[in-house]
Amino acid sequence: MNEQGVSQFDPEREQLVINAVEQFLEREVRPVAHQLEHDDTWPADIVEKMKEMGLFGCIIREEYGGLGLSASTYAKIIERMSRVWMSLAGIINSHLIMSSCVQRFGTEEQRRHYLPLFASGALRGGLALTEPDCGTDLQAVRTVARRDGDSYVINGTKTWISNGIYGSAFAVLLKTDPKAEPRHKGMSMFICEKGGGFSHTKKLEKLGYKGIDSAELLFQDYRVPAGNLIGGVEGQGFKHVMGGLELGRINVAARGVGVARACLEESTAYAQMRKTFGKPICEHQAIQIKLADMATRYAAAVHLTEAAASAYDKGQRCDMEAGMAKLYATEAALANASDAMRIHGAYGYSKEFNIERYYRDAPLLCIGEGTNELQRIIIARQLVARNPV
């Protein structure tokens, strides 16, 4: 067990877990994913099966009821999910970022109370960062918590929150000192369970990424115990978020790998079956160039994602590595989705095939967990910091 709280790499155990996930995906998810996605239906039965498999406790330590998997194994699970239906990876991601924040930064009392509930899925939810006027600039959040005796009173709104409707608990970033300078010193994070004064207001409609519930959360004089302040000390919330987002960006990178591979596999198969001018289109140089680029993007994305996950498992600072993986893998997914649609032609544009879903899902990856523009800034700053003249 390292300082991240994850088990050391065990190839045999990893393969057993991955095999079980692959069987679950083929048996329970692939036959229904297409219809659930197009109907934008919450996959209640699938989520229950994911709970039974312990997937909501992937990276939670075994002593707290989780599987204690390494980030490397977790990334491979997410990649395989995303090949079949990317929305499932999102249902897990936000939940496990919340869990990671509690595991890495919470008090021991918070860990012992919440982590077993998170691992079993009895309490399931996610991370509440974004606000109507605040996305990439997290220090601009306006949701405020005011101390009142042995509790805090919270007021504000969060938006685009994954698991917002069906989730029951969230790690919420807010201001405990709105006047603090620099701004991040006034930020804290709380574990908030839905109840009086805390509710969701509406489901947000999206281009893709269907099935998972994205919603707006509303806090109106919501009272939370002071003991739910993660770490027990005010002013640490921004640090907690940055630590949690390292895992989140590895997840999103792995999703990009999964979508890029799905596009590659379906395009390679289709190009061998579809004929034009008397021969399979895979024999046309124009198609060969696209397939070669798709395969190369996928392979590079795999290596960058594995490097980021490995750094995370070693307890190293990996915002640059996670940023690189997230940046490249998600752009690879977007490019592969575009090439896949061109290779499939009209069939790629049809709702009867998966390609149009990949084409709608991929752009989100370039936005979520910090835009790719932000990733470039993070990478450049870390590059300079690590290589001083």
Which residues are catalytically annotated?
369
All residues at 6 or more sequence positions from 257 whose CB lies less than 8 Å from its CB, including other chains: 75, 79, 82, 298, 301, 302, 305, 329, 332, 333
Rounded to the nearest angstrom, the gap between the alpha carbon of residue 302 and the centroid of all alpha carbons in its chain is: 17
* Torsions phi, psi for 97 (to 5 deg): -65, -45
Query: H or E stretch including 189?
Result: strand 187-193
All residues at 6 or more sequence positions from 143 whose CB lies less than 8 Å from its CB, including other chains: 131, 154, 155, 156, 157, 158, 172, 173, 174, 175, 219
Q: How many CA atoms lie within 13 A of 334 on its CB side?
A: 14
**How crowded is residue 307: how many other Cβ atoms within 10 Å of its Cβ?**
16
Q: How many CA atoms lie within 13 A of 375 on its CB side?
A: 27
The token pair that represents 97 in the structure block: 């970022």
Strand-strand pairing, 187-193 and 279-280 = unpaired
Query: How wide is the angle at C-alpha 200 spanned by C-alphas 79 and 228, nearest 5°?
Result: 80
